[in-house]
Amino acid sequence: MKGREEISGDATTGITRREAMLQLLRVGSVAAETVGAGWWLSERSRRPESQGTIQARRDHRVATDARWPQITVAQDGEPRELVRQAIKNLGGMSRFVSNQDVVVLKPNIAWDRTPEQAANTNPELVAEVVRECRQAGAKRVIVTDVSCNEPRRCFQRSGIEAAARAEGAEVLLPDADRFREVDLGGVVLKNWPVFEPFLEADKVINLPIAKHHMLTGATLGMKNWYGILGGERNRLHQQIHQSLVDLASFMLPTLTLMDCYRVLLRNGPTGGNPEDAELKKTIVAGTDPVAIDAYVAKAYWDLDPEKMPYLEMAAARGLGTTDFASLNVTVTKV
């Protein structure tokens, strides 16, 4: 390990704490890597037969502990090394996962793409999180997503299915019969079909990948919750920022680990051209999903919260802070 840093500003150079944080995240490993949004589910799923609408916010957060940072950045390593270091920096997986927990991991497995195209979460990152959860005593670790392209191809071609199974995870493809009508309690999102495993978990860990997005500028942690829904998700883009906040208010994760190993800087979210991805060899992890999104958006796309209205809306709803520099943050070179 090359060392752990607490972030601080430098009055002698005029660099603020926020600027120092951004510089560290932007540096990463900057070598370029030579690396059709089909709404599959809307065509094949159906709204559940009425058995009464579920009304329940899913709050999987753990208690705040001042001994540990709210955000940690692990850099300059391979995906498994980065995961291990990030989780260690946050106090270890046993802080988040208890003996006999049913843990659902939510990577992005939306697209029929290879890892080099950086449209889905890195499979080795997912596998290492599975391993950490099992070592912490989880009864079951489930890896799932509601894909946009044909799920079986997405799960296989992404490499996530094989990598997760090798570590003992249950990998669940979306099943049209396993969606339940839920009152999301949102401003825009009211009753909507949600994939059942997300309603039954003891803990939920969000594993998004950082990507460019045509509508929001970037697709990050909160956008990853689109993958818990069935139905005609393309309708959500009509009021995308409010939809994102409604979802984030409904599904509050235990932990977020943002995959910035390869970052899709252009032509997202589907990607396809490896030259649009850049190797950063970084993970940003923590317990404040708003701050993590704000931090990564600013570092890689120079997007402030006022350019991404859902961030300010989420902060106003009490889901976190956009002022990431105000938090306890550590950076570690692996």
Per-residue pLDDT reduced to its tens digit, 71-104: 999 999 999 999 999 999 999 999 999 999 999 9
Q: CB–CB of 330/4 below 8 Å?
A: yes
What pLDDT does residue 26 have? 82
User: Mean pLDDT, the chain, as a whole number?
Assistant: 90
CA separation for the pair 320, 312 (Å, rounded) = 10
pTM of the predicted protein model: 0.90
Give 114's pLDDT tier (boundaries 50, 70, 90): very high
Confidence of residue 3 (pLDDT cuts 50, 70, 90): low
Instruction: Give the residue-averaged pLDDT of 170-185.
Output: 95
Q: Enumerate the H helices of 169-303 as residue ranges.
A: 197-200, 240-250, 289-301
Q: Please state, as a whole number, how many other Cβ atoms lie within 10 Å of the Cβ of residue 1.
A: 11
Residue 175 CB neighbour total at 10 angstroms: 14
Contacts of 7 (CB under 8 A, 6+ apart): 17, 20, 21, 24, 325, 329, 330, 331
Residue 39: what pLDDT? 34
Which band of pLDDT confidence, cut at 50, 70 and 90, is reported for residue 55? low
Strand 179-183 and strand 191-195: pairing?
Answer: antiparallel
What are the sequence ranges of the domains in the chain?
3-333
**Average pLDDT over every residue of 130-156:** 98
Helix spans in the chain (H): 17-27, 40-44, 79-89, 123-135, 151-157, 160-166, 197-200, 240-250, 289-301, 309-316
Give the confidence band of 42 by pLDDT, cuts at 50, 70, 90: very low
Whether residue 332 contacts residue 4, with contact meaning beta carbons closer than 8 Å, is answered with: yes
